[in-house]
Amino acid sequence: MTNTRKTPATTATEPETAVAVPAVETPKVVGPPLRPGQQPGKVTFAHHLRIAGHDFRPGESALLSPDYARQLRGNGYLARERG
């Protein structure tokens, strides 16, 4: 069986212009994700700790959500901040 339907001819259309949207770089946060509006905080570990399959040794630093940092600081895993 043959198709006798004719397709409409395509006319020369203007090429679509690609609008470049700047990529928002999301910082690599360890542990639970940030809540809307929160900014990650850089912390220094006081003791060995394993988070999400990554080992952090004393003296290493990472970006954590403020809530998680507060919890770890209360348990003694994070070094005190120097001001």
Q: Write the pLDDT tens digit of every residue in 13-45.
A: 656 666 666 666 667 899 999 999 999 999 999
Mean pLDDT of 37-58: 95
- The pLDDT value given to residue 50: 95
Whether the pLDDT of residue 58 is over 80: the answer is yes
| 53 in Cβ contact with 66 (< 8 Å) | no
- Look at residue 24 in the predicted model and tell me its pLDDT: 62
What's the pLDDT score for residue 26?
64
What are the domain boundaries of the chain? Answer: 41-74
Cα separation values, 6 from 2, 3, 9, 21, Å: 12, 8, 9, 39
